[in-house]
Amino acid sequence: MKKIKVGIKKKESARDLPLPAYATHGASGMDLYADVDSEVTLLPGQIKLISCGIYLSIPEGFEAEVRPRSGLALKHGITLVNAPGTIDSDYRGLVGLIMTNLGKIPFVIKRGARLAQLVIKEVIKAELAEVEELDETVRSQGGFGHTGV
**Per-residue model confidence (pLDDT) at position 140:** 75
**Per-residue model confidence (pLDDT) at position 147:** 65
Q: What is the pTM of this model?
A: 0.88
Q: Comparing C-alpha atoms, which of 56, 65, 54 is closest to residue 91? A: 56
Local structure of 89: helix, strand or coil: coil
Q: Comparing C-alpha atoms, which of 38, 30, 35 is closest to residue 17? A: 35
Render each residue's pLDDT in the chain as its tens digit; 149 residues.
Answer: 789 999 999 999 999 999 999 999 999 999 999 999 999 999 999 999 999 999 999 999 999 999 999 999 999 999 999 999 999 999 999 999 999 999 999 999 999 999 999 999 999 999 999 999 999 888 777 666 666 66
Q: What is the chain's alpha carbon radius of gyration, rounded to the nearest angstrom?
A: 19
Q: Comparing C-alpha atoms, which of 110, 113, 108, 114 is closest to residue 41? A: 108
In one letter, which amino acid is 124? I
Looking at CATH, the fold of the domain delimited by 7-122 is given as Deoxyuridine 5'-Triphosphate Nucleotidohydrolase; Chain A (2.70.40)
